[in-house]
Structure 1
Amino acid sequence: MGARILNSAAWAAALICLAPIVAAMLAALSGDLTTWRGLVATVLPGYVANTLMLVSLVALGAAAVGTGAAWMVTMYRFPGSRLFEVLLVLPLAFPAYVLAYAYTDLLSHPGAVQTALRAVTGWGPRDYWFPNIRSLPGAAIMLICVLYPYVYLLARTAFAQQTASAWLASRTLGKGPWQSFFRVSLPMARPAIVGGVLLVIMETIADYGTVAHFSVQTFSTGIYQAWFSMGNRAAAAQLALCLLAFALLLAFLERIQRGQAKSHGRGGGQGLFSRMEVTGLQGWCMTFFCFLPVLVGFLLPVIILTKMAVVSGQSILHPRYQGFVADSLLLAGSAALLTVTCALLITFRGRLHPGRSSRTMTMLAGLGYSVPGGVIAVGLLVPFAALDNLIDDWMEAAFGISTGLLFTGSIWLLVVACMARFMAAGLNTLDAGLSSVSPTIDAAARTLGRTPPGLLFQVHLPILKGSILSAMLIVFVDVMKELPATLIMRPFGFDTLAVQAHRLASDERLNEAAVPSLAIVAIGLLPVIMVCRRIAGGQKRPKLPTAVPTGLPDGGTG
Structure 2
Amino acid sequence: MSERILNWLAWLAALVCVAPIVAAGLAAFTGDFDTWRGLMNTVLPGYVANTLMLVVLVGLGTAALGTGAAWLVTMYRFPGSRALEVLLVLPLAFPAYVLAYAYTYLLQHSGPVQSALRDVTGWGPRDYWFPEVRSLPGAAFMLICVLYPYVYLLARTAFAQQSVGAYFAARTLGRGPWGAFWSVSLPMARPAIVGGALLCVMETIADYGTVSHFSVQTFSTGIYQAWFSMGDRAAAAQLALGLLAFALVLAILERIQRGQARAHTRGNRAEIYDAQPIGGLAGGLAAFFCFLPVFVGFLLPVIVLSRMAIDSGQSPFDGRYLRFVTNSLTLAGTAALVTVTAAILISFRVRTRPGRSSRAMVLGAGLGYAVPGGVIAVGILVPLAALDNVLSDWLQSAFGRTPGLIFTGSIWVLVVAYMARFMAAGLNTIEAGYASLSPNLDAVTRTLGRNPTGLLARVHLPILRRSILAAALIVFVDTMKELPATMIMRPFNFDTLAVQAHRLAADERLHQAAVPSLVIVAIGLLPVFMVCRQLSRRAPGRPAPEPRSAGVAQPYAADG
Letter in 1 for 2:41: A
What does residue 164 of structure 2 align with?
Answer: 163
* 8 Å contact kept, 1:57–1:140: yes
What does residue 530 of structure 1 align with?
Answer: 530
- CA-atom RMSD in angstroms: 4.1
- Which whole-Å CA distance do the structure 1 matches of 2:67 and 2:461 have between them? 37
Pick closer, same or farther for the CA change 1:22–1:278 going to 2, 3 Å.
same
The secondary structure found in structure 2 opposite 1:243 is: helix
Equivalent runs, 1:250-329 vs 2, <5 Å: 250-256=250-256, 259-262=259-262, 272-329=272-329
What does residue 548 of structure 1 align with?
Answer: none
1:154 aligns with 2:154: yes
- Which whole-Å CA distance do the structure 2 matches of 1:263 and 1:168 have between them? 16
Equivalent runs, 1:498-537 vs 2, <5 Å: 498-537=498-537
Q: Deviations over 1:485-505 (max 9, x none)?
A: 223333444321111111212
What does residue 143 of structure 2 align with?
Answer: 143
Q: Deviations over 1:193-224 (max 9, x none)?
A: 33332221111112122112212111122222
What does residue 52 of structure 2 align with?
Answer: 52
Deviation at 1:294, TM superposition (A): 0.8
- Which whole-Å CA distance do the structure 2 matches of 1:55 and 1:265 have between them? 32
Bigger Cα displacement from structure 2, 517-526 vs 315-324: 315-324
Letter in 1 for 2:296: V
* 8 Å contact kept, 1:18–1:365: yes
Equivalent runs, 1:85-104 vs 2, <5 Å: 85-104=85-104
- Which whole-Å CA distance do the structure 1 matches of 2:184 and 2:7 have between them? 46
Deviation at 1:129, TM superposition (A): 2.3
Deviation at 1:230, TM superposition (A): 1.7
Equivalent runs, 1:71-470 vs 2, <5 Å: 71-160=71-160, 161=162, 163=164, 169=170, 172-173=173-174, 181-183=181-183, 185-256=185-256, 259-262=259-262, 272-340=272-340, 342-343=342-343, 354=353, 356=355, 361=361, 364-385=364-385, 387=387, 407-408=407-408, 410-426=410-426
Deviation at 1:457, TM superposition (A): 12
- Which whole-Å CA distance do the structure 1 matches of 2:403 and 2:378 have between them? 22
Pick closer, same or farther for the CA change 1:80–1:486 going to 2, 3 Å.
same
Q: Deviations over 1:122-143 (max 9, x none)?
A: 2233332222212111111111
- Which whole-Å CA distance do the structure 1 matches of 2:273 and 2:464 have between them? 34
Deviation at 1:509, TM superposition (A): 1.1
- Which whole-Å CA distance do the structure 1 matches of 2:238 and 2:462 have between them? 45
Pick closer, same or farther for the CA change 1:150–1:306 going to 2, 3 Å.
same
Deviation at 1:421, TM superposition (A): 1.6
1:476 aligns with 2:476: yes
- Which whole-Å CA distance do the structure 2 matches of 1:29 and 1:491 have between them? 29
Pick closer, same or farther for the CA change 1:60–1:343 going to 2, 3 Å.
closer
Deviation at 1:320, TM superposition (A): 2.7
Pick closer, same or farther for the CA change 1:481–1:461 going to 2, 3 Å.
same
Gaps of at least 5 residues in structure 1 are 545-558
1:495 aligns with 2:474: no
* 8 Å contact kept, 2:348–2:456: no
- Which whole-Å CA distance do the structure 2 matches of 1:267 and 1:192 have between them? 19
Pick closer, same or farther for the CA change 1:429–1:366 going to 2, 3 Å.
same
Letter in 2 for 1:485: A
Deviation at 1:458, TM superposition (A): 9.9
Pick closer, same or farther for the CA change 1:386–1:363 going to 2, 3 Å.
same
TM-score scaled to structure 2, two decimals? 0.81
Deviation at 1:518, TM superposition (A): 0.9
Pick closer, same or farther for the CA change 1:325–1:209 going to 2, 3 Å.
same
Bigger Cα displacement from structure 2, 470-479 vs 263-272: 263-272
- Which whole-Å CA distance do the structure 2 matches of 1:346 and 1:183 have between them? 32
Q: Deviations over 1:370-411 (max 9, x none)?
A: 544234223223434555677789999999999986655654
* 8 Å contact kept, 2:205–2:370: no
TM-score scaled to structure 1, two decimals? 0.81
* 8 Å contact kept, 1:194–1:257: no
Q: Deviations over 1:292-315 (max 9, x none)?
A: 111101111111111111111111
* 8 Å contact kept, 1:17–1:419: yes
- Which whole-Å CA distance do the structure 2 matches of 1:439 and 1:180 have between them? 33
Letter in 2 for 1:242: G
Number of residue-to-residue matches in the alignment: 536
* 8 Å contact kept, 1:195–1:258: no
* 8 Å contact kept, 1:224–1:488: no
Equivalent runs, 1:18-57 vs 2, <5 Å: 18-57=18-57
- Which whole-Å CA distance do the structure 1 matches of 2:510 and 2:98 have between them? 10
Bigger Cα displacement from structure 2, 244-253 vs 267-276: 267-276
Deviation at 1:439, TM superposition (A): 7.9
- Which whole-Å CA distance do the structure 2 matches of 1:2 and 1:165 have between them? 40
Deviation at 1:150, TM superposition (A): 2.2
Pick closer, same or farther for the CA change 1:459–1:234 going to 2, 3 Å.
same
- Which whole-Å CA distance do the structure 2 matches of 1:227 and 1:210 have between them? 18
What does residue 551 of structure 1 align with?
Answer: none
Deviation at 1:262, TM superposition (A): 1.4
- Which whole-Å CA distance do the structure 1 matches of 2:141 and 2:55 have between them? 11
- Which whole-Å CA distance do the structure 1 matches of 2:13 and 2:184 have between them? 43
The secondary structure found in structure 2 opposite 1:262 is: coil
Pick closer, same or farther for the CA change 1:503–1:193 going to 2, 3 Å.
same
Deviation at 1:176, TM superposition (A): 6.0
Letter in 2 for 1:81: S
- Which whole-Å CA distance do the structure 2 matches of 1:201 and 1:208 have between them? 13
Deviation at 1:484, TM superposition (A): 2.5
- Which whole-Å CA distance do the structure 2 matches of 1:30 and 1:314 have between them? 46
* 8 Å contact kept, 1:31–1:238: no
Letter in 2 for 1:119: D
Q: Deviations over 1:526-551 (max 9, x none)?
A: 2222332232135434779xxxxxxx
The secondary structure found in structure 2 opposite 1:110 is: coil
* 8 Å contact kept, 1:213–1:505: no
* 8 Å contact kept, 1:167–1:184: no
Deviation at 1:417, TM superposition (A): 0.7
Bigger Cα displacement from structure 2, 523-532 vs 138-147: 523-532
What does residue 555 of structure 1 align with?
Answer: none
Bigger Cα displacement from structure 2, 88-97 vs 379-388: 379-388
